[in-house]
Amino acid sequence: MATGRTHRPATRSRGIPEATVARLPLYLRALTALSERSVPTVSSEELAAAAGVNSAKLRKDFSYLGSYGTRGVGYDVEYLVYQISRELGLTQDWPVVIVGIGNLGAALANYGGFASRGFRVAALIDADPAMAGKPVAGIPVQHSDDLEKIIQDNGVSIGVIATPAGAAQAVCDRLVAAGVTSILNFAPTVLSVPDGVDVRKVDLSIELQILAFHEQRKAGEEAANADGALPPAAARSDSADQGPEGDMPAVMPA
């Protein structure tokens, strides 16, 4: 079984920090929307707002790309689209395999965003013999017995795991052994991979639990306000006339 950490060190080529790499797709999405509206240039403030980051962070991120914009003009939208796409490796075709063609795997196979962003679904793989040959999104499902041959024949370096949790590690091990070096994991489990293999985990239940935490906190705050809790300004006003112990005025009246 493959062992080791689940992520590589926090830097990429040319010394770009991992946090910056994670924000590049946000910039690219915002820039692509501007390009589709034929917007020629954009200021750092406008682009930062569209990407959901602050403008200082955006300018710092772009400095790693060697792109500084033009004072009074801003950034050239089309050039930035090309520059970020090149940095992310999206100027070439990336064949991808999806393993586990249940409801989630089938939904991923039908997702049109892969092709438009440089990713080609080269194969769909499932362990159920009854699935073999059935077309999903126009692609016939292949049996997992042929996984290694499929990887090699299609030159695949990116694998998507959408299997149940119990099968995910074994699938991961086979993908890595066959030459896959990047994995997008939708299975609700932590994968162990050797050095040199990147894993990105997508867990929808965790994201929902985080949202539930914030909803619970907001509900608690609303309940406290409904119970007649003093607003902060009023509380400060009342306490301003209290002594250190709250039992006598801090300053005696004249």
Structure-token pair, residue 68: 């500084």
* Antiparallel, parallel or unpaired: β 75-76 and 41-42: antiparallel
Count of beta carbons in the 10 Å neighbourhood of residue 221: 11
Strand, helix or coil for residue 33: helix
Question: Whole-angstrom Cα distance, residue 242 to residue 253?
Answer: 12
Residue 7: its pLDDT value, please? 40
pLDDT tops 90 at residue 246: no
Summarize pLDDT for 86-127 with one digit per residue, the tens. Answer: 999 888 889 999 999 999 999 999 998 887 788 999 999 999
Q: For 139-198, how does the pLDDT look when each residue is reduced to its tens digit (9 = 90+)?
A: 999 999 999 999 999 999 999 999 999 999 999 999 999 999 999 999 999 999 999 999
Whole-structure pTM value: 0.70
Of the candidates 114, 40, 113, the residue with the CA atom closest to the CA atom of residue 81: 40
pLDDT tier, 229 (very low <50, low <70, confident <90, very high otherwise): low
Which positions ≥6 away from 33 have C-beta within 8 Å?
50
Q: Is the dihedral of CA 32, 33, 34, 37 positive or negative?
A: positive
